[in-house]
Structure 1
C-alpha cells in the first residue's frame, strides 16, 4: 500500500498475515529494491500493489506515477514482475480501500447513523492527498474526484486560495491540495498573521463553538505551533489550535457533502490517516462542525442528512484491501 508518505508492505499466507513493515515513500523510490529487501528471498505467488495515483492499463501492462511525490517515478507492473520474479498487479490506493469495505469491516465508527440507502457506496480519505472511490454491485471503482476545484465561499477562503496559488505558482487549487495534510499545513502557514476574530467573522456559522475567541485579536503565530503535528497535538487543550482544526474539518465536511450529492450515495466511508489520528476531535464539537458542513447543500440538504457515514479506524485498510 503505497501512499504519498508511507509505503506499507505485508506478506499473507491465505488470510494470515506473516510479516508487515512500513517504510518512507520518499526515502524508497526504488520500489523493487524495497520489496526485495522486505520479502528476504521468500517464495511468493504474487503481489497486489495499491499506489496513490491513477493506474493506466494498456497492452497488458499497468503503469502509475505517484501523484504527491516529487520524484515522478513511473512504475510498471510488467517491469516489477520481471524484477521480483512473481506476478504483480497494480490498483489505485483507494480501490484497495473499496475492497476492504466490501469485506464488511468491523473497525469502523459511526459519524452519522442512518439506515443504508439505495445508491453506490462512496468512500474518501485525507492523508498526504485526498483519495476517493465508489462501489457499484460489489465492485470498487477508482476515482480522482479529489482533484476537483476547491470551491471558495468566503473572503477568508478567497484570500487563502490566492495565498496558495502564489506560494506554489499554480492556477488550479484542488480539494486534494486543501483537504489533505499539505492543505492543513498551508492553512497553518496562512493563518500565522491572522486572528480568531478574522476567522470567525468570515465563518460565523460555527462561531457559537468559539465565543471565547470571537473578539480575540491575538495572532495565531503567538499561540500555536507552525506544523501539522504540533497543531493537531495542541488542539485538545489549545483553543487557537482547535479553531484551526475546526476550520479545516469544515472544509473536509463540505467535500464529503459534495461527494454524497455527486454520486447520490447510499452510504459513505471516511478513511485516511488524518481522521484516524484525530478521532478525539471528531467526536467533539469539531465533529458537529464537520457534520453541519456535510449537510450544507442548499436545496439538496436532505440528501447528506439521510446517508449513513462511517469512519474507518483500521490503519491497514489498504493492505487488507490488497
Structure 2
C-alpha cells in the first residue's frame, strides 16, 4: 500500500541517495544514488526516482541534508539546491516531510549498521562502556560531526557545523599550510582542509613546497595515486590529510567525551582509509597533553557503508 511506504533520502553536496522504507527499515533493493549535477532541483531527482522504481508516492519522507536545519526550507551549504517541504510534498503526494541534518541521520544509524560494515581503526585494550557517548565524524564534500548520547528516555543526537570551526595547527609546517589555505579568506576552516576540495588544496601546497608543478588531478585521482604510491606528492598529501584528521577528531573526542567510540565516515575518509593505519593518524589523535591517556582509550572505527544515513532516516519515521 502506498500509504505504508516512506521515502528516506540523503542529500549530500555531490550525490543524492534515496530508498523506500517499510516498518522503519530501508528496502535495500530500492536504494538508488544520483549525482546532483544530473538534476536542476531536488524535486526533479525525487520525481525521477519514483518513476525509476515504479512508486506513485509515499506517505512520509525523512530527508537528511548537508546543511543546518532551521525550518521547512533548507539551503544546502555546498550545493546551490534549496529544499522545500511543500514542493517535495507535492512530488510525493504527502504532507509529512521532515528534514534532519545528514550527520544526525548518520548518528541515528549506528545501531542499524551491519557489523561487517564497521572496520576497526584504533582498538585500545580497554572495553568501551555500552552506554557511553559516541561520535560520528566524516569528510567528503564537506566536514561535520554529530554526537549520540544514551539517556533513560531514549537517544539524543546533537547537530552542529563542525566543519566551519577553525582548523588547528601545531607545527611550523601546519602553520604554513594553514596560511596557504587561509589566503584571501581571513582564516582556514576545518572543512577547508578536510574535504574533497581540501585534499586538492593540500596537494597544491605540497607541490609548491617540493618545487614541482601540480598536475590537474581531481581529489579522487590524488587519493588513488596515494593508495598506489605512484606519486610522492600524492602520498605526502594523504599523510598530511590524515594527520589533520587525527588532530581534529582527537579534539572532538575531548569536546564530546565520546568514550563509546568514534565512527569515521565520508567519501574522502574512505578513499584514504589505508592511511588511517599509519602512525600519522594515531599520533595526532592521541597527542592531547594531559588528556592523552583519556583519548588513547577511545576506540575509533570506520563506517564502510555509503548508505548508512538512509537507515538513520528510516529510524526517525513515525
The normalised TM-score by structure 1 is 0.82
Residues paired across the two proteins, number: 287
Contact 1:2 1:51 in 2 (8 A): yes
Structure 2: runs of 5+ lacking an equivalent: 1-9, 314-318
The aligned counterpart of 1:78 is: 86
Q: 2:265 aligns with which of 265, 271, 279?
A: 271
Partner secondary structure for residue 12 of structure 2: coil
Q: 2:63 aligns with which of 49, 56, 66?
A: 49
Output the CA distance in 2 between the equivalents of 1:178 and 1:74: 25
Output the CA distance in 2 between the equivalents of 1:35 and 1:140: 27
Output the CA distance in 1 between the equivalents of 2:170 and 2:268: 23
The aligned counterpart of 1:91 is: 100
Sort the Cα spacing of 1:220 and 1:251 in 2 relative to 1 into closer, same or farther, 3 A.
farther
Contact 2:140 2:196 in 1 (8 A): yes
Partner secondary structure for residue 147 of structure 2: strand
Output the CA distance in 1 between the equivalents of 2:170 and 2:274: 28
Partner secondary structure for residue 11 of structure 2: coil
Contact 1:12 1:18 in 2 (8 A): no
The aligned counterpart of 1:157 is: 174
What's the CA shift for 1:237?
2.2
Output the CA distance in 1 between the equivalents of 2:233 and 2:197: 19
Deviations 1:102-137 (A, max 9, x none): 335411011111311464211110001002101112
Sort the Cα spacing of 1:249 and 1:30 in 2 relative to 1 into closer, same or farther, 3 A.
same
Structure 2 matches for 1:1-322, cutoff 5 A? 1-14=10-23, 15=25, 16-40=27-51, 41-57=55-71, 62-69=72-79, 71=80, 73-86=81-94, 87-103=96-112, 105-106=114-115, 107-114=117-124, 115-117=127-129, 119-137=132-150, 138-166=155-183, 169-195=184-210, 219-221=211-213, 226-235=217-226, 236-238=228-230, 239-266=232-259, 267-283=261-277, 285=278, 288-322=279-313
Output the CA distance in 2 between the equivalents of 1:24 and 1:43: 22
Output the CA distance in 1 between the equivalents of 2:285 and 2:306: 24
Output the CA distance in 2 between the equivalents of 1:157 and 1:249: 13
The aligned counterpart of 1:201 is: none
Partner secondary structure for residue 185 of structure 2: coil
What's the CA shift for 1:34?
1.3
* TM superposition outliers: structure 1 runs of 4+ over 6 Å: none
The normalised TM-score by structure 2 is 0.83
Sort the Cα spacing of 1:35 and 1:248 in 2 relative to 1 into closer, same or farther, 3 A.
same
Contact 1:120 1:136 in 2 (8 A): yes
Output the CA distance in 2 between the equivalents of 1:27 and 1:182: 20
Partner secondary structure for residue 209 of structure 2: coil
Deviations 1:11-34 (A, max 9, x none): 234433342222222443411121
Sort the Cα spacing of 1:220 and 1:298 in 2 relative to 1 into closer, same or farther, 3 A.
farther
Contact 1:189 1:226 in 2 (8 A): no
Partner secondary structure for residue 194 of structure 1: helix
Partner secondary structure for residue 112 of structure 2: coil
Output the CA distance in 2 between the equivalents of 1:68 and 1:134: 22
Output the CA distance in 1 between the equivalents of 2:14 and 2:208: 29
Sort the Cα spacing of 1:227 and 1:93 in 2 relative to 1 into closer, same or farther, 3 A.
same
Output the CA distance in 2 between the equivalents of 1:173 and 1:49: 30
Output the CA distance in 2 between the equivalents of 1:269 and 1:22: 22
